[in-house]
């Protein structure tokens, strides 16, 4: 079947088209198109997403992105109508002013085209984005039932600008949040940390770029590092639960910059502080995730969400999981193109829901509503 995905939960307007079917052995998944229009440049000067601006941009961009995706995949909008079997749309969580644009667009389309439509939890989309094959990949991915036995039960570390959660996944549709942040999300800590250091939004990639300068040319910064002892705390790293806390880390960074008169040597100090912040955040995320996976006897660890693009995090996870007592735990992370918000992951979840309940008349537009605070 061909599934249309629509995603507008934050600052990315995305339309995805996925071909998927159930086979004897498992599933066949082939992303046909993943068109994304990012608003980063618009929000950058404000240091974060401005909801009213996001609303305006989604309204302006959704028909353009939609038309582009349809024309590229099917040649024309008219051809698309007969080919698309199912519409899926992110219904939450997210910014309500952003969600409403995608939800209303999708509902109108479902009514006009007389197609079934499923409202999807954005977080569920992130959870399974590791399954998606490359868009340019010549062969689609076949997931066998055997794969499921290797993957689940799994512990997923879901890390984005708004969420930091550890989720125990028994199987598709069966999730338990076992830990989460008590204040800021990991992505928020990267973003706020970057702002303290005078770096651009989004902070994650900016911090990673500065940190890599320190990693590549450590000796250049060694003297300053030893002189100032630039160390940050690893909040809650030894706590008994699986919760996180990142707001203190951001404050610790702010105090540190004040103590060492950061602005006078900004260029030299930024890579050291960025490195230390990246290490502090990733250390806590990794220790807690591995602890959960071990205690709960998970077969795998899955990364999901925007922060999962962080290379250092991936490297450190892989390094740790090579150790003798952990090498039985599999490690999965999405391709970089699927770490950020995208509509293909929404279409994939819609496919699984439809397989579980394949009744066209059940999935109607009247049932769908945007829910800003939707939980998993
Ligand atoms: O999932 P996402 O695209 O949007 C939300 O739903 O929040 O995540 C965005 C977050 C931002 O906080 C951004 O700074 C962070 O992901 N991020 C990164 C990296 N790339 C994006 N954080 C660390 N390292 C990265 N390479
Ligand atoms: Zn997201």
Task: Work out the average pLDDT over 321-334.
Answer: 94
Least confident of 146-150, 208-212, 250-254, 304-308: 146-150
Q: What is the pLDDT of residue 138?
A: 55
Structural domains of the chain ordered from first start: 2-132+337-367 (3.30.420.40), 149-333 (3.30.420.40)
Query: What is the DSSP secondary-structure string of 256-312?
Result: HHHHTTGGGGHHHHHHHHHHHHHHHHHHHHHHHHHHHHHHTT-SEEEEESGGGG-HH
Q: How far is the CA of 159 from the centre of ligand 1 (A)?
A: 8
When comparing pLDDT for 218 and 372, which is higher?
372
Of 207-221, 285-299, 338-352, the one with minimum mean pLDDT is 207-221
Q: How far is the CA of 306 from the centre of ligand 2 (A)?
A: 6
Task: Give the number of the ligand closest to the Cα of residue 124.
Answer: 2
Among 307, 316, 343, say which to mutate for ligand 1: greatest number of ligand atoms within 8 Å of CB: 307
Q: Report the alpha-carbon distance of residue 312 to residue 262 in Å, rounded.
A: 25
Q: Which of 8, 161, 199 to mutate to test the pocket of ligand 1 (most atoms within 8 A of CB)?
A: 161
Centre of ligand 1 to C-alpha 135, Å, is 21
Cα 95 to Cα 17, 88, 102, 129, 181, distances in angstroms = 23, 18, 11, 21, 19
Structure tokens at 295: 């205690």
Ligand with smallest separation from the Cα of 312:
1
For ligand 1, atom 26: residue with the closest CA: 310
Q: Residue range 354-374: average pLDDT?
A: 96
CA 192, CA 209: separation in Å to the nearest integer?
16
Q: What's the gap between Cα 238 and its chain centre?
A: 26
Nearest CA to ligand 1 atom 10: 161
Give the closest residue (by CA) to ligand 1 atom 8: 306
> How many angstroms does the Cα of residue 23 sit away from the middle of ligand 1?
35
Ligand 2 centroid from CA 49, angstroms: 13
Residue for token pair 């890599």: 212
pLDDT at 221 over 90: no
Q: How far is the CA of 356 from the centre of ligand 1 (A)?
A: 31
Number of CB atoms found within 10 A of residue 201's CB: 21
Report strand pairing: 154-159 vs 164-171: antiparallel
Q: Which residues pair with 87 in a beta bridge?
A: 4, 117
CA-nearest residue, atom 19 of ligand 1: 204
| pLDDT tens, residue by residue, 84-127 | 999 999 999 999 999 999 999 999 999 999 999 999 999 999 99
Using the mean position of ligand 2's atoms as its centre, give its distance from the Cα of residue 123 in Å: 7
Ligand nearest to the CA of 308: 1
Is the bond into 175 cis (omega within 30 degrees of 0)? no
What average pLDDT does range 27-31 have in this prediction? 91
Instruction: Check residue 263 and give its pLDDT.
Output: 87
**Distance of alpha carbon 27 from alpha carbon 145, whole angstroms:** 8
Tell me how far apart the alpha carbons of residues 146 and 26 are, in angstroms, rounded to a whole number: 8
CA of 308 to the centre of ligand 1 (A): 8
Average pLDDT, the chain: 94
DSSP string, 38-63: E-HHHHHTTTS--HHHHHHHHHHHHH
Q: In this predicted structure, what is the pLDDT of residue 205?
A: 97
In contact, 200 and 211? CB cutoff 8 Å: no
Mean pLDDT confidence for 286-309:
97
Give the strand pairing for 141-144 and 26-38: antiparallel
Query: Could you tell me the distance, in angstroms and rounded to a whole number, from the CA of residue 203 to the centre of ligand 1?
Result: 8
Among 351, 350, 333, residue whose Cα is nearest residue 157: 333
Helix (H) / strand (E) element for 159: namely strand 154-159
Separation of alpha carbons 55 and 9, rounded Å: 10
Q: Which ligand is nearest to the CA of 191?
A: 1
Nearest-atom number in ligand 1 for the CA of 160 is 8
List residues bridging with 37 in a β-sheet.
13
- Pull the structure tokens for residue 349: 């979840």
Q: How far apart are the two ends of the chain, measured CA to CA in Å? A: 26
Q: Which two tokens stand for residue 45?
A: 């000067």
**Under 8 Å between Cβ of 167 and 175:** yes
Phi and psi based region of residue 173 (left: phi greater than 0; alpha: psi -120 to 50; beta: remaining):
left
Q: What confidence tier does 146 reach under pLDDT thresholds 50, 70, 90?
A: low
pLDDT band at 145 (very low <50, low <70, confident <90, very high): low
pLDDT tens profile 32-62 = 999 999 999 999 888 889 999 999 999 999 9
Return the closest-CA partner of residue 349 out of 128, 83, 107: 128
**Confidence at 260, pLDDT banded by 50, 70, 90:** confident
Q: Which atom of ligand 1 is nearest to the CA of 203?
A: 14
Which token pair is 343? 């509509």
Ligand 1 pocket list (CB less than 6 A): 10, 160-162, 187, 190-191, 202-205, 208, 305-307, 309-310, 340-341
Q: Of 202, 210, 305, 334, which is best to mutate to test ligand 1, by the most ligand atoms within 8 angstroms of its C-beta?
A: 202
User: How is residue 199 written in tokens?
Assistant: 């770096």
Whole-model pTM: value is 0.94
């Amino acid at each position: 079947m061909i599934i249309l995905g629509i995603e507008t939960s934050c600052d990315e307007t995305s339309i995805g088209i996925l071909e998927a079917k159930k086979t004897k052995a498992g599933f066949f998944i082939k992303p046909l198109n993943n068109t994304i229009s990012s608003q980063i440049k618009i929000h950058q000067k404000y240091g974060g997403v401005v909801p009213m601006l996001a609303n305006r941009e989604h309204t302006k961009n959704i028909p353009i992105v939609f038309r582009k995706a349809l024309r590229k995949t099917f040649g024309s909008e008219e051809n698309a109508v007969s080919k698309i079997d199912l519409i899926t749309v992110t219904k939450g969580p997210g910014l309500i002013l952003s969600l409403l644009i995608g939800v209303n667009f999708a509902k109108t389309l479902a009514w006009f085209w007389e197609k079934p439509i499923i409202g999807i939890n954005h977080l569920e989309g992130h959870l399974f984005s590791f399954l998606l094959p490359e868009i340019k990949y010549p062969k689609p991915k076949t997931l066998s039932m055997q794969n499921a036995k290797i993957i689940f039960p799994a512990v997923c570390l879901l890390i984005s600008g708004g969420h930091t959660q550890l989720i125990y996944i028994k199987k598709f549709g069966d999730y338990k949040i076992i830990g989460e942040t008590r204040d800021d999300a990991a992505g928020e800590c990267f973003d706020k940390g970057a702002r303290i250091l005078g770096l651009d939004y989004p902070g994650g990639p900016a911090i990673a770029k500065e940190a890599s300068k320190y990693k590549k040319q450590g000796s250049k910064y060694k003297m300053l590092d030893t002189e100032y002892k630039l160390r940050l705390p690893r909040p809650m790293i030894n706590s008994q639960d699986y919760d996180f806390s990142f707001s203190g880390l951001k404050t610790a960074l702010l105090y540190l910059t004040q103590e060492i008169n950061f602005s006078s040597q900004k260029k030299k100090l930024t890579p050291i502080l960025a490195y230390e912040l990246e290490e502090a955040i990733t250390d806590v995320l990794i220790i807690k995730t591995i602890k959960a996976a071990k205690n709960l006897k998970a077969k795998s660890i899955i990364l999901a969400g925007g922060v999962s693009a962080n290379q250092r995090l991936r490297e450190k996870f892989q390094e740790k999981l090579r150790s003798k007592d952990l090498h039985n735990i599999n490690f999965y992370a999405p391709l970089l193109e699927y770490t950020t918000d995208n509509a293909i992951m929404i279409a994939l979840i819609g496919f699984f829901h439809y397989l579980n309940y394949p009744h066209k008349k059940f999935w109607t537009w009247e049932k769908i509503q945007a829910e800003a605070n939707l939980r998993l």
